[in-house]
Amino acid sequence: MGVFSKLNNLYWQIRYTRIKSVKRKYYRYVAKEKKRLIESGVDAEELRLLCRHLSNLRNEQAEIRLEAYRKTLKENRTPGVIFSTI
């Protein structure tokens, strides 16, 4: 979760801010962070599901889908195999 700690922080700010202009500012920060993470190689679908979950923590279905996706990622990884781009 260390990779997503900044996103977690930004969504916390959005949830607890009541001023609309401040919320928009934090949504712009979220967009920049998402773009940075995707460019650094983070799985886009996991990022989408995480943001959906963080935007509304009461949405149990979003959390269930995120955990299910992470479980399938974990199962699909082959241990000990190193992929090379040579």
pLDDT exceeds cutoff 60 at 79: yes
User: pLDDT tens digits for 31-52?
Assistant: 999 999 999 999 999 999 999 9
- At 63 the three-state DSSP class reads helix
| Rounded average pLDDT over 5-21 | 96
Give the confidence band of 77 by pLDDT, cuts at 50, 70, 90.
confident
Q: Is 54 exposed, middle or buried (0-12, 13-18, 19+ CB in 10 A)?
A: buried
CA-to-CA distance for 63 and 77, rounded, in angstroms?
A: 21
Residue type, 49: L
